[in-house]
Structure 1
Amino acid sequence: MVSHKENAALAQQLFQEAVDRYGIPQGALTLHQDRGSPMIARSYLDLMGELGVTCSHSRPRVSNDNPFSESQFKTSKYQPDYPGRFESIVHARQWYRAYVDWYNLQHPHSGRAGFTPEQVFTGRYREIAEVRQRALDDSFEAHPERFLRGRPKVAMPPASVSINPVQPDDDDPAPYSVVNFPTLAAASGSATKSTLIFNDLSESG
């Protein structure tokens, strides 16, 4: 979302649309974000509770608690055609629409073992990995002497990624059912074990 302003109402609109678009089930999502005013507004946290989304927040005054989001900002700003300054909000939306399509659909990422975000998100990476593995197997059969470590194996994306993971506690039968910092969701007892993703609206303008 690219907007002239940032507020809790826009944040609610964005995540309601995302949950509806991708069919996110209740209790399946943990959202990591900074502590900007829209992200801690009661109306926003109430909606997250209604959607079954557990909220995790960066620590106060810790700029690197959302490294994936910050890394994505750097990727966008280091693009060869990044304009530096946008002429208008229409210009910004046009540029970011093309950038997001490229980032999701074409950009192989080292942290995802050379797969694109779309391939990992949809599960298509498994089919692609099979094609890559066949190519490696053919190369190995033709020239095994080139592979000093034996038969090569296709690297796969990590099964899970977390930010400031909660350490296991022997006294807690479900140690990962809590978030790092108290939120309305956690306080109400609705925090659940879930996949950790990130989002950051601090530069949505």
Structure 2
Amino acid sequence: MAAYTALTVAGLPTREAAVIAGVSRATATRKPRTPGEDPAPAPAPANKLSAAERAHILATVNSREFVDLPPVQIYARLLDEGIYLCSISTFYRVLEENKQVKERRRIARHPARAIPELLATAPGQVLSWDI
């Protein structure tokens, strides 16, 4: 870019200066960017939950009463009791931080069953049909 600028200051037409400098005229005449400073980190919100509050939410969610319930139902039951801990999204955020966002109910896990193998050593030993 310095070469292009020097050529144009010397009186060369912009088209010839761009060809000699090896840059396109659009790039050469574009206003150069000034390097900006890194933006300052955003301040912490005033209503950010403390570590103790997050631990209390996690303990409540993992309590015997709520261990099988999703955060939406926990939130609703606590509101029915007149208790507000946090919003539903904050429940999910706290669970995500502790890697507990998953199916919370106890679901039976059925083992994979072996597919029966039909083996015949002579004619007429295995009969099967397709329904």
TM-score by length of 2: 0.27
Greater gyration radius? 2
Q: Which has the higher helix share?
A: 1
